[in-house]
Structure 1
C-alpha cells in the first residue's frame, strides 16, 4: 500500500518526527485505556448502582400509594427514608423542579439519567448538580415528590479522576522524554550544521558526540572533510605550480620574438598570447572558490560595485533589478570572479549584459542575461565542465576561451553550497545564467 499521499502532512525535521513518534503512542494509549475504562468499567458499575438506587426509589413510591395526604405519605415512609439515607418532600403547587445543569466534565451524568428514566416511568426530572447530591422528581397521585440523596449511590465518585490522573502523568513523562530526546538529537544537529557549513564553503569547529552511531558518523565526516580539503589543496598547488613554471619560458619566447622582424614574429606572438591566456585561466581555475575566507557582506552593494567596475572596463553591463535585502556569508573574491566571468561571456558573445539580484529568507540568486546566441539545451550540461569549448554554438568570431569560464562559476557556486543554472533568457533571447546560493 502506497503512503506517498501522507508525506506532505508529515513533519520534515528530525526533532518533529521524533516528537511525533514519542507522542502518538501516548495519545493512542490514553484513548484506548479511556474508552476501555468508560465502556467496560464505568458503564457497568454505573448500571449496577443506578439499578439498586431505582429499586430503593420504587420502594418509597410503592409505600406511598395507599396514603391519602402528603403528610400521611411522608410519615409512612419516614423510617425507610432514614434507613436509606434519603430526604423527601412534596413540591408546593407554585414551585417547579429546580434542574441544575451537570458539570461539563461529568461525562457519566447522561448515562445515569437515561438509566433512571428507563427504570422509573413516573420520573419527571433529574438534577445532578454536584458529585455529592442527586435530586429526583417523581409524579405521584399526591403531587410531585422530590427525593434527595447522595450522588455517589448512582455512580462512582469523580469518575473523571482516572482520566485526569492519566493525562497528568502522561504530560509529566512526555516532558521528561522531550528533554532527554533533545539532548540525544543535539549531536545530530551539530553534525548537520557542520556538514551544511562545509557544503557552503565554511569549515566550522566540530567535535563528535552523542551515541556511538552518531560519533561514528561524526568521525567519518571529519575524515571526509580532511580528505576533501587535502585534495583541493593539492589540486591548487599542482595547477599553480604548473602555471607558474610555464610563465618563465613564455617570457623568454616573447623576448626572443621581439628580436625578429614584425612580419615573422606576428603569428608566433599570437600563439604565445594564446598560451599566456591559457596559463592565466589555469591560475584562475586553480584559485577556484578557495580564495579568501567567508565574510558577511551586503549582496546588493557588492553586485552593484561589480557592475560599475565592468562598465569602467568598457563592458556594457547594467544592474536592472534588486529584490529583497539583507546580508549573506560569501567569499568576496571568488564570487566577484564568477560574476565577472559571466559578464565577460555575455559581452563577448552578445552586445550587453543585464544583471539582477534576488534575495529571500533561504537563498540568493544572481542572474546574468545576454542577447547573444545562447547555449542549446542539450549542451548546457557539458558547458559547465572544465576545458569544454562551445565556440561554434556561441559565435566563435566574437572571441575564444579555454573552456574554464563557466566551470569556474559552477565551482564557486558549489563551494558556497549552491548551483549554477543555465537557461534561455526570456527578455534578451540569449543565455540566462543563475548563481543560486543558500543563505
Structure 2
C-alpha cells in the first residue's frame, strides 16, 4: 500500500519529523488507554452501581413509607409539570451519564426524564397516582466521583512527558542541525566553524564531513596554485617574445603579435578559472544594480548588450567580483556566437536569476552537459571557428554559481532563438 499521498502533509524539517515521531506513539497510547478504560472501567463500574441504585428505587416505588426513602438517602418530592425538563439532560463531558440514563430507562419503562444537571445529584421524574414525582439522590450512588479525573491526569502527564522528551531530543538533534548548516554553508562557498559533537554516529558523520571539506579545500588550493604558477611562469617568455617582435618590422611581426595576444588571452582564462569564485567573502549586494553596472561597462567597450528586464528589489549575499566575471563571460560568449545579447534579472523571495540570451546557433540539449565541462569545445553547435577560447568560460560560470549555492542552466531563448543561460542562486 502506497502512502505517497501523505508526503505533502508531513513536516519537512528534522525537528518537525522528530516531534511527529514522538507525539504519534504518545497520542495513540492515550487514545487506546482512554477507549479501553471508558469501555471496561467507566461503563462496567457505572452499570454495576446503577443496577444497585435501581433496586433501591424499586423498593421506594413499591412502598408508601417515607422512612424507607429517607433511610436509602432518596428524596421524593411532588413537583408541578413545569418543573420537568423537556428532555434528558447531562453535561457535555459527562460520559458516564450516558450509561446511567440508558440503564435507568431500560429498568423503568415509565421513567419520564433523567436530569444530570451537575456532578452532585441525579433527578428522576415519574408519573405517580398523585401527580408528578421527582426522585433526587446523590450522584455518587450511580457513578464514580470525578470520572474524568483519570483522563485529565493522562493528558496532563502525557503532555509533560512529551515536553521533557522533546527537550532531550532537541539536544540530540542540535549536532545534526549544526552539521547540516556547516554543509550548506560550505556548498555556498562559506567556511563555518564546526566541531563534531553528539551521538557516536553523528560524530562519525561530522568527522567525515570535516575531512572531506579539508580535502576539497586542499584540492582547490592546489589547483589554484598550479594554474596560477603555470600561467605566471608563461608570462615571462611571452613578454620576451613581445619585446623581440617589437624589433621586427610591422608587417612581419603583426601575425606573430596576434598569436602572442591569443596566448595572453588563454593565460588570462586559465587565471580566471584558477581563481574561480573563491575570492573574498560574500557580502550583501544589490544584484540589479550590479548587473546594470556590468552591462553599462560592456556597452562602453562597444559590446552589443542590453539590460531588458529587472524584477524585484533587495540585497543578496554575493561575491561581487565572481558574479561580475561570470556575467561578463556569458555576455562575451553571447556576442561571440551571435550578434547581440540581452540580460534580465529576476529577484524573488526564494531565488535570484540572472539570464543572458543571444541570437546565435545555441547548444543542442544533448550537448549542454558537455558544454559545462572545462576545456569543452563544441564545434558543430557553437561555431568555435569564431572564438579563440579554450572552453573555460561556462566552467567559470558554473564554479561561481556553485560557490553561491546555485546552478547554471542552459536552454533555448524564446525571445531571440539562441542560447538562454540562467544563473540561479537560492536566497
SS in structure 1 opposite 2:127? strand
Q: Does 1:416 align with 2:384?
A: no
One of 96, 119, 123 as aligned partner of 2:83: 96
- 1:96-126 deviation per Cα after TM superposition (whole angstroms, max 9, x unaligned): 3146842221122122111110100110011
Q: What is the aligned partner in structure 2 of residue 59 from structure 1?
A: 59
How far off its partner does 1:257 sit?
Answer: 2.3
1:391/1:400 contact within 8 Å kept: no
1:292/1:332 contact within 8 Å kept: no
One of 274, 292, 299 as aligned partner of 2:262: 274
Range that drifts further, 420-429 or 394-403: 394-403
How far off its partner does 1:6 sit?
Answer: 2.7
Q: What is the aligned partner in structure 1 of residue 181 from structure 2?
A: 193
| TM alignment of 1:20-99, pairs within 5 A | 20-63=20-63, 76-92=64-80, 95-98=82-85
| TM alignment of 1:248-267, pairs within 5 A | 248-267=236-255
1:208/1:219 contact within 8 Å kept: yes
Q: What is the aligned partner in structure 1 of residue 154 from structure 2?
A: 166
1:122/1:140 contact within 8 Å kept: no
One of 368, 393, 409 as aligned partner of 2:356: 368
How far off its partner does 1:36 sit?
Answer: 0.2
TM-score, structure 2 length as denominator? Answer: 0.96
How far off its partner does 1:8 sit?
Answer: 2.3
Range that drifts further, 202-211 or 165-174: 202-211
Q: Does 1:243 align with 2:231?
A: yes
Within 2, Cα distance between the matches of 1:95 and 1:182? 62
One of 282, 300, 306 as aligned partner of 2:294: 306
2:262/2:388 contact within 8 Å kept: no
- 1:326-375 deviation per Cα after TM superposition (whole angstroms, max 9, x unaligned): 21111111111000000111111112211111222222111111111111
1:413/1:435 contact within 8 Å kept: yes
One of 416, 419, 427 as aligned partner of 1:431: 419
How far off its partner does 1:271 sit?
Answer: 2.5
Structure 2 gaps, min length 5: none
- 1:157-180 deviation per Cα after TM superposition (whole angstroms, max 9, x unaligned): 111111011001011111111112
Structure 1 gaps, min length 5: 64-75
How far off its partner does 1:296 sit?
Answer: 1.4
Q: Taking structure 1 as reference, are residues 393 and 98 closer, same or farther at Cα in structure 2, changes over 3 Å only? A: closer
Q: What is the aligned partner in structure 2 of residue 404 from structure 1?
A: 392
Q: Does 1:150 align with 2:124?
A: no
2:406/2:426 contact within 8 Å kept: yes
1:348/1:399 contact within 8 Å kept: yes
SS in structure 2 opposite 1:336? helix
TM-score, structure 1 length as denominator? Answer: 0.93
One of 185, 192, 213 as aligned partner of 1:204: 192
Size of the aligned set, in residue pairs, is 426
Within 2, Cα distance between the matches of 1:224 and 1:374? 37
Within 2, Cα distance between the matches of 1:400 and 1:274? 7
Range that drifts further, 139-148 or 33-42: 139-148
Q: Taking structure 1 as reference, are residues 286 and 316 closer, same or farther at Cα in structure 2, changes over 3 Å only? A: same
Within 2, Cα distance between the matches of 1:313 and 1:293? 29
How far off its partner does 1:9 sit?
Answer: 2.3
Cα RMSD for the two superposed structures:
1.6
Q: What is the aligned partner in structure 1 of residue 12 from structure 2?
A: 12
